Structure 1
Amino acid sequence: MTRSTERRRRPRLERADLRTVYLLGAVSAVKGLSLIVIAEAIARGISALPAGGETLRDAVLWGVGGALLRAGSSWASTVVSSRAAVGVKEDLRQRLAVTALSDSSGVSGSTAVLATRGLDQLDEYYRSVLPAMTNVAVIPLLLGARILFADWLSALIIVVTIPLVPVFMALIGMHTRDKVDAASTALGRLSDNLVELARGLPVLIGLGRVEEQTKTLRTISDDYRATTMQTLRTAFMSSLALELISTISVALVAVTIGIRLIGGSLTLEIGLLVLILAPECFAPFREVGAAFHAAQDGRAALARAREFVARPTPATILVTGTEVTGAEVIGAEVRVDHVTLHFAGRSEPTLNDFSATFAHNRTTLVAGQTGSGKSSVLALLGGQLASNTDGYELAGSVSGVDLRRIAWVSQHPQTVSASVREELALYGGNTSPELAVRVDAVLAELGLAGLADADPARLSPGELRRLALGRAVLRVDDGATLMLLDEPTAHLDAESALIVERMIERLCGTVTIVIATHEHGLAELASSVITLGETSRLREVEQATGPLDRVRRGEIEPEPDRESADPVKAQTWGTVRALWEFLSPSRATFVFAVLLGTLSALFAVSLTAVSGWLIVRASQEPAIMYLLVAIIGVRFFGIGRSSLRYAERLCAHNSIFQAATELRVRLWRALGRNGITSRGLFRGSTAVDYLVGATDDVRDLSYRAVMPPLVAACVGIASIIAVALLYAPVLWVLLVLFAVCLGVVPVVTVLVDRSFSQRQHTLQSALLTRFVAMLGASRDLRTNAIDGRVRRSIAEVDAELGAAARRGAWALGLGHALTVLGCCLAAMGMLVVCAPFVLSGGLAVELAAVFVLLPLALIESMAAVVDAVQLWPSLAAALAKVAGFVGDEIPESMEGQAADLETIGRETISSPVRTLEFSGVTAGWPGVVAPTFSDVSFRAVAGEWVMVEGPSGSGKSTLLAVALGFLQPRDGRLLVDGRASSNYSGSELRRHVTWCPQEGHLFDSTLRGNLLISRARGDAPSEPEMIAALERVGLGSFVASLQNGLDTRVGSEGEQLSGGQRQRVAVARALLAGGDIVLLDEPTAHLDADAAESLMTDLRIALSDTIVILVTHHSVEAKTGDVRVRLAASTATDRHPARMFEQPVAV
């Protein structure tokens, strides 16, 4: 490893961090002084117990003062460190957002997790590492100085042994660093895979590969778990080593003190003082070791974040001159001069010495066959291509473009807002009342008024196209001078296409427009044409029928709000039951971990008690044989505490990581089970939120919120029993302490917190979702120059998150302070309560010392309860979120409609399927009273094609959902080979169906990788089969021209292919799947007329013995003998059954 790599990995302290360190140093000094005062008070108090008097009273008063100082330092440490973490995270997130938005790699999962969950790990770094480091720098010096003045020999032993702790810590830290990096890399890889799987879920459903990808997900998750557990095992082992070194060193001091007390060369007061302070000298080193390893994830995230933001800025080939302003660009023509674009692995460049001029305020058509480079020209004008990016070579220049004044409509629009209305307002540029009116007007004109408050992620591709055009229109209103339109009418019916054409026509002459299209209607708007390669024949769109000003409902599925329940108000028993269900894969291991944790805490209490008894008894100068059992006990409890702590942490984390893996798999299966009934689930942000965010929340919180209360309760019960057996009259002090620490303090903490911690976790989930959405839409945002607005909105959420974190830290610090104060005051209270019993002879001094030291030994266990109580609402929320998603119970609104239930049908379908029949089928989406369509009847046999036509919102996707088995008919029957579909489970039906969705997602892999998923691994297509399928869809010559052939990478979402090429690869994949029933959803979108005609001819040959259902907006694709089903749309106010009919095509 190079020295420069070491420097990059080591988090450097910036100016704000240094201020925090100085402040924490002052807090550490106060804590050190408080420890000295408390130790002095206890030592003097126990020594004065036989005599009582003013000495005891003064000791108690000093102890109370020390308790107040220690409580104040505990509160200040938590608050100061947490506030520092918030500031650093907010700064780094914004810098990450800026860098990520300019990144063209398309990798969003790992980057989003780094910017959210990764940076959240800094909380542990700032809350644990920095305070521990300042404690190391200050507390041992203060305590060591006091010990030196009291007993130089004990000070010498501490000085000799204490350097062993940092030496071992450094050695183990260097050993674990690479493993932590490997775990972070595994999490990033997992996140990227989850985003890819979610975006491609429709493809996996259509190919029947969901379960196979479940195995892949499990493998990736298991790898992540194994890597993380290996790291944790080493880290826990390091903590064990540090604990053992500290324990042995303190034991050596204690034995030395005991022997000298027996010999009479040391007083009891000094012996107790040294005994109490010696462990506190080692405690900061143990804390920094444990914190260092616990915060390794945060340190690694900090290093990766700083390395990420240091990436070079993409170099543009846009030339506007060094002093040219946006005003000077306005009014100028756009020129492209000698541009060459050559993708890696291609034998020919996509653009070869391309030059063109786009006249100011004129409309230019970029024409050419599929794959000729039309989208590349638009990407070039939009500033999306950089000259210093891997994957392609770019040379030449572009002038006359102001990147701040571009309106862009992409082939695959991505959204970031919560509603259609908000998405349009985002692109409008301001929040004035005039904008709201303009947004409503655009919605009405596009026929989207009925969907204004809908989630854009649940729109159909056609509706999304109209939304994207509306965004561009508002960009023009906001000052954009260049409009780039990449197939804006793809996936649109005739009526919608005409609406789009009319909107664009009204803009002609007022803005420079560049259009790439295969549609004849749009081409007629152009005043000039630039042809790339050979001329292609344009496609005709059928004439629209019906009024164009009608606001149509749009086909969108209302879905239940999965987070509508208030988890904070949910019954505790419900949360416990959900937790028990989460732990089901490893319940026994978790219960065993609780037992180990309880034993470890009891050993720690016993170590303190035996050590105190040993010192006081030794001061009475008995024969050493009477102390041998106690001496052995000190060693036993010291080593046992460390060993049990190691075993407990290992068992608990292994148990929870196993449960988290199972939960992640269940969530993925739930995504697949919901299928196409919820388009919102196909978003990468949704997948990461559930599969990474929610899963990690449950994983992390289930340990931190559950283990401490259980351990504390068990320790409390054991302590009460022990004190009751030893000397019951002092038991009430302990009962009051537990009532305060386990009752009053948690209640006060919750009241002060006021659910800010739970809100903090909710905001963290929202931040993760928004970050993934932002990165997924980075090209839309960057090209339309609104990325700054989105970053500001994320900054607002981050600021709200920071405010919640600060308030939560204030409450947490208060809870810790009250716990420390309560335990210290209980120790002083024990002094007061025990004094009369000791004076009367009813209680031995050594036993009184045990009772006095006991509350101090309970501080760690009791303080952990505060953290747990504050985190419990967040755990309840996380469990409610995932339980509502993966639960076996189906909401009442879905009963009788969700087909993929094990309780519905267990018969198997004989292959191949020869007939498919809809008999009077009425169907609709769950939760909606009105059906999407009614009384559909048609019958198709193998070799026949069913042409499904109709405008957006007429129910085409609903019909496909029924055919796929995701929706059961509300009325009528779906018959498969004459048998009702209710006899089969949804998964059994889909085993015989292949679906090619409208947006045929391509995974970020190679052509080969995208085609291999068409069939199961045991029946994977051979290379000749894949080549033949590509030739059938017209890509034979294209693949032959690739240097790497099928091993050519296609980029994220197939970005290195044209829209038409992506579509044909998706169709080829469906052909390879070989289903008995094939569902094709607009397979010729993005293709020119000749390519579309050729593809349909090849498909009819390839599927000549298959039942095919084709959804299309081009009736010319129908042939004689096809079954035609025409669906009529309903309006937002007209929910009567749609008109349908079956008729043969007359040619």
Structure 2
Amino acid sequence: MGQGLMKYKGIKPVMAVMAGLTLIQTIAIILQAKWLAEVISALFAGAKLQEQAGGIGMFLLAFMVRQGCGALMQKTAYRFAEQTGQSLRKQVLSKLFELGPRFAGQEGTGNLVTLVLEGVTKFRNYLELFLPRMLATGITPALVWLYVFITLNKTSAVILLVTLPILIIFMILIGLAARKQTERQWQTYRTLSNHFVDSLRGLETLKFLGRSKTHIDSIERVSDSYRSATMRTLRVAFLSSFALDFFTMLSVASVAVSLGLPLVEGRIELLPALTVLILAPEYFLPVRMVGADYHATLDGKEAGAAMESIIAAAEEEASKTAPVPAGADLRWTPQSTLVLRGLGVKHEAEESQADGGQGADDAIESGAKPSLEGVDLEIRGMGRIGVIGESGAGKSTLIDVLGGFLRPTTGSIELNGTVLGDLSPEAWREQITYIPQKPYIFSGSLADNICFNKPDASSAEVEQAAEAAGLGTLIRSLPGGLDEPIGGGGRPLSGGQEQRVALARALLSERPVILLDEPTAHLDIETEYELKETMLPLFEGKLVILATHRLHWMQDMERIIVMEQGRVAETGTHDELLARQGAYYELTALQREGLR
């Protein structure tokens, strides 16, 4: 991560300023030691204190210059770290939106939230401490050694030259051990974050099943794992700090011994010996500070590397996308046409674990992600399209491709006559509203959650969207109305109410395309039918593609796409498919059998 610092915007002028300040600070350190040694030597020789006022004044001036340079370096590093941290957070959030909900499901929501919130803070702390320490380690010891070697004592300079690499090698060895422990701690932290979010999401279900108390053991086990990893890391940190201070002390002591004997024998004067002795700790100080701060900033370094990997993954995906031809019309209107020819999506089995989010119904029993193969579809204008099929048929994968969250591995896509590699262009995504199984409710007011896709919406627009989505009764029952806090720390909502909030978001955004992936799969049948009555009238004038395994929705769809093992088995209206007595007819027969 340290080697990649130079790619951050504005770091070169910041490094130049801090290098200059470090140079001035080092000169101040040398002059400070020189004048302090002169004053002490003179006093030891019998001079009066009043006669040393000039030397003391020069010492104080050098001391103030040193502290001033240190303060300026910290301020410069803090400002750069703050700007870089904010920029990195925006980049990561932007890339997460580009990668889509499937990536979030794979990485874990808790892990990503923790990374964006706490990880950025830790990375900022890493930059703030690391940059000044790195420059001081490269400049200060070199200048101090040259001064000692040229003007003071060559023997002491040789001792300093020999002991510093030993100290650095020792620090590297300890750092490798600490890094291994920190990586384990970061992994357990990710597990703890995801486990905590999953526990919160499933708390109602656990209580309903009477398993909430037994879940305590699971929470305790995960928490103990993180506690143990943290204690191991702290143990390494404390032992390494002690060892680093111990070896530094031995190095300074060896310099003191090499000066003490010649001083007693009269082979060296007090002034140069005292100056070397004062400068010796300053020579080792930057390395000691790097060692001391290494453990404090290592988790920030790991967080930075994790965020960079997300950005790199998004850029790698973007590099696979063919550029959109100039002048291409990607708007969706009643006259628009979307054609999929021979579309295929294949996945590695080891990447397949659905994380309980959208597309979980498509997890194939073998453990591989669902795939599409040879999908040929043509979608025109506005209307309601249902995508039906058994679990693992490829419904969610098709929705992810249409939403631009997945890139097809074979086949072609044509939108309004323009051939595209995939549907990830921003111009297409800006027209889509995606409603998953479990829409995310942010910690904030009900109004804030509704206008998430349109932050500048007026109060009247928000209220109108909420009423249209069937939230009027809920709003009137809340003490704060639309300003009532919901989400984390606020009023909990039922599954049906959360879906209504997601529907209100879609209505307020006024986007022409709505993609729904099993939006009612976790709801009871009464709530589902109630929500259905609200949703259907609101789909008018839009292109709505609804993936579900609930067949009762299909009677209200204008067109039905039947998926079977990643292929389109048949398409048509409800009556046409029943008359054909194919795959759709078999699904309806199975459902009727199950209802008996």
Q: Which residue of 1 aligns with 2:581?
A: none
- Per-residue CA distance 1:90-132 (angstroms, 9 max, x = gap): 2322232233331524022223333332332334433333222
- Summarize the Cα distance change of 1:456–1:486 in structure 2 as closer, same or farther, 3 Å threshold: farther
Does 1:505 find its partner at 2:513?
Answer: no
Whole-Å separation in 1 of the counterparts to 2:287 and 2:320 = 52
- Distance, in Å, in 2 between the alignment partners of 1:144 and 1:518 is 75
Structure 2 counterpart of 1:139: 140
Q: Report the number of matched residues.
A: 529
Matches within 5 A, 1:600-999: none
Quickly say closer, same or farther: Cα 1:40–1:497, change in 2 above 3 A. same
Residues 1042-1093 of structure 1: per-residue CA shift (max 9 Å, x gap) = xxxxxxxxxxxxxxxxxxxxxxxxxxxxxxxxxxxxxxxxxxxxx9897488
The alpha-carbon distance between structure 1 residues 281 and 354, as it changes in their structure 2 partners (threshold 3 A), is: closer
Deviation for aligned residue 1:65: 0.9
Question: Which residue is equivalent to 1:453?
Answer: 483
CA-to-aligned-CA distance 1:521-571 (integer Å, 9 cap, x gap): 966654444455799xx9xxxxxxxxxxxxxxxxxxxxxxxxxxxxxxxxx
1:360 lines up with 2:356 in the alignment: no
Q: Distance in 1 between matches of 2:19 and 2:117?
A: 29
Q: 1:406 aligns with which of 426, 432, 445?
A: 432
User: Does structure 2 conserve the Cα–Cα contact (< 8 Å) formed by 1:335 and 1:356?
Assistant: yes
Give how far 1:351 is off: 6.2
Greater relative contact order: 1 or 2 (C-alpha under 8 angstroms, separation 6 or more)?
Answer: 1
Post-superposition CA distance 1:438-475 (Å, at most 9, x none): 22122233233334223443221111222222222223
Give the CA deviation at 1:75: 1.0
Amino acid at match of 2:190: G
Match of 2:187 among 179, 185, 191: 185
Matched ranges for 1:544-563 at <5 A: none
Larger Rg: 1
CA contact (8 A) 2:39 2:55 kept: yes
- Aligned amino acid, residue 256 of structure 1: S
Q: Please state whether the residue corresponding to 2:408 is helix, strand or coil.
A: coil
Would you say the 8 A contact 1:128–1:291 is kept in 2?
yes
C-alpha distance in 2 between matches for 1:270 and 1:181: 47
User: Structure 1, residues 262-286: CA drift from partner, whole Å, max 9, x if none?
Assistant: 3334443333322211211121222
AA in 2 matched with 1:483: I
Q: Which residue of 1 aligns with 2:584?
A: none
- For residue 412 of structure 1, give the secondary structure of its aligned residue in structure 2: coil
1:43 to 14, 37, 41: 37
* CA distance in 2 between partners of 1:293 and 1:520 (Å): 57
Measured after TM superposition, the shift of residue 310 of structure 1 is 1.3
Q: Deviations over 1:1098-1131 (max 9, x none)?
A: xxxxxxxxxxxxxxxxxxxxxxxxxxxxxxxxxx
- Aligned positions of 1:490-529 closer than 5 A: 491=523, 501=533, 504-505=536-537, 508=540, 510-515=541-546, 525-529=556-560
Match of 2:15 among 15, 18, 21: 21
**CA 1:395 to 1:289, structure 2 compared with 1: closer, same or farther past 3 Å?**
same
Distance 1:212 1:426 in 2: 37
Q: How far apart are the structure 1 equivalents of 2:527 and 2:283?
A: 80
When residues 372 and 219 of structure 1 are mapped into structure 2, their CA distance, relative to the original with a 3 A threshold, is: closer
1:481 corresponds to 2:512: yes
Write out per-residue CA displacement over residues 124-175 of structure 1, whole angstroms, 9 at most, x where no aligned residue.
4333332222222222233334434133433333233333222322333344
Secondary structure of 2:33's counterpart equals helix
Match of 1:30 in 2: 24
Pair 285,338 (structure 1): closer, same or farther in 2 beyond 3 Å: closer
Whole-angstrom CA distance in 2 between matches of 1:304 and 1:489: 34
Match for residue 431 of structure 1? 456
- The answer to whether the aligner puts 1:66 opposite 2:70 as a matched pair is no
Q: Deviations for 1:986-1035, whole angstroms, at most 9, x for unmatched residues?
A: xxxxxxxxxxxxxxxxxxxxxxxxxxxxxxxxxxxxxxxxxxxxxxxxxx
Q: Find the aligned partners of 1:317 and 1:138 in 2 and give their Cα distance.
A: 46
Q: Distance in 1 between matches of 2:23 and 2:549?
A: 75
Give the corresponding residue for 2:248.
246
User: 5+ unaligned residues in a row in structure 2: which ranges?
Assistant: 347-361, 417-422, 564-568, 575-586
1:66 CA displacement: 1.9
Any idea what the Cα deviations from partners look like across 1:164-201, whole Å, max 9, x if unmatched? 22232233334443333333223223322322233222
Return closer, same or farther for 1:247/1:460 CA change in 2, 3 Å cut-off: same
Structure 1: runs of 5 or more not aligned: 1-7, 389-393, 539-1086, 1098-1147
CA contact (8 A) 1:317 1:387 kept: no
Q: Name the amino acid aligned to 2:91.
A: R
Asked if 1 retains the 8 angstrom alpha-carbon contact of 2:551 and 2:588, the reply is no
User: Percent of aligned pairs with the same residue?
Assistant: 27
Q: 1:204 to 1:396 in 2, by over 3 A?
A: farther
Alpha-carbon distance in 1 for matches of 2:550, 2:559:
16
Q: After superposition, what is the alpha-carbon deviation per residue over 1:585-605, rounded to whole angstroms, capped at 9, x for unaligned?
A: xxxxxxxxxxxxxxxxxxxxx
Change (3 A) 1:243 1:374: closer
Shift in Å, 1:206: 3.2
Q: What SS does structure 1 have at the residue aligned with 2:444?
A: coil
CA distance in 2, matches of 1:229, 1:455: 38
- Give the counterpart letter for 2:544 in structure 1: I
Aligned partners of 1:360, 1:194: CA distance in 2, in Å?
A: 43
What amino acid maps onto 2:139 in structure 1?
Answer: V
CA positional deviation for 1:212: 3.9
* 8 Å CA contact 2:436, 2:516 repeated in 1: yes
Alignment-derived partner of residue 334 in structure 1? 338
The Cα shift of 1:497 comes to: 5.5
Equivalent residue number for residue 468 of structure 1:
502
What is the rounded CA distance, in whole Å, between the counterparts of 1:118 and 1:261 in structure 2? 54
Residue 484 of structure 2 aligns to a residue whose secondary structure is: coil
Partner of 1:296: 298
Residues 786-832 of structure 1: CA deviation (Å, up to 9, x unaligned): xxxxxxxxxxxxxxxxxxxxxxxxxxxxxxxxxxxxxxxxxxxxxxx
How far apart in 1 are the matches of 2:227 and 2:554?
Answer: 55
- The CA deviation string for residues 491-539 of structure 1, in whole angstroms up to 9 with x for no partner, is 489799668646643652x33333457889966654444455799xx9x
Secondary structure at 1:416 match in 2? coil
Taking the aligned partners of 1:351 and 1:132, their CA distance within structure 2 comes to 53
Distance 2:115 2:132 in 1: 24
Tell me the residue number matched to 1:118: 119
Q: Find 2:467's aligned residue among 435, 438, 444.
A: 444
1:416 corresponds in structure 2 to 442
Contact 1:253 1:275 in 2 (8 A): yes
TM-score by length of 1: 0.41
Contact 1:10 1:303 in 2 (8 A): no
Residue 200 of structure 2: aligned partner = 198
Amino acid at match of 2:594: S
8 Å contact kept, 2:174–2:240: yes
- Aligned partners of 2:4 and 2:109: how far apart in 1? 24
Q: Find out whether 1:157 has 2:159 as its counterpart.
A: yes
Quote how far apart the aligned CAs of 1:79 are: 1.0
Distance 1:368 1:278 in 2: 76
What letter is aligned with 1:183? Q
Q: Which amino acid aligns with 1:1094?
A: G
Contact 1:85 1:123 in 2 (8 A): yes
Match of 2:356 in 1: none
2: CA distance, partners of 1:219 / 1:453: 39
Cα 1:522–1:1094, aligned 2, differ >3 Å: closer, same or farther? closer
Give 1:412's aligned amino acid.
K
Contact 1:114 1:305 in 2 (8 A): yes
* Native 8 Å contact 1:81 1:126 kept in 2: yes
Q: Over aligned residues, Cα RMSD in angstroms?
A: 4.0
Tell me the alpha carbon deviations over residues 958-989 of structure 1, each in whole angstroms, 9 at most, x when there is no partner.
xxxxxxxxxxxxxxxxxxxxxxxxxxxxxxxx
CA distance in 1, matches of 2:320, 2:589: 35
SS in 2 for 1:407: strand
Check whether the contact 2:341–2:375 (CA below 8 A) recurs between aligned residues. yes
Partners of 2:550 and 2:162 lie apart in 1 by 84
Q: Distance in 2 between matches of 1:231 and 1:162?
A: 25
Aligned to 1:184, the other structure's residue is in SS state: helix
